[in-house]
Amino acid sequence: KNPFNPINSVDPGNPANPINRYNPNNPFNPINEVNPNNPLNPINRYNPNTPFGPLNTFPDRQR
């Protein structure tokens, strides 16, 4: 639905593809650069709750 956010450019049923390279909720914050359905990929590389920084970059500050 958002032409600037091609979340459907790959097959969502194929774990080999990063189906959520772009965040469907925020095109400026690719929280799902890796496939959330694939345990081999760090799904939390980007923080889904804040568009300004990676979730796990400063783990001590998260506590």
Residue 6: band (very low, low, confident or very high) from pLDDT cuts 50, 70, 90:
low
Q: What is the mean pLDDT of residues 51-56?
A: 49
Q: What is the mean pLDDT of residues 18-38?
A: 50
- Tell the residue number behind the tokens 């359905």, with chain if given: 37
Model confidence, pTM: 0.15
Please tell me the distance from the alpha carbon of residue 52 to that of residue 12, in angstroms, as a whole number: 26
Asked if 33 contacts 18 with a C-beta cutoff of 8 angstroms, the reply is: yes
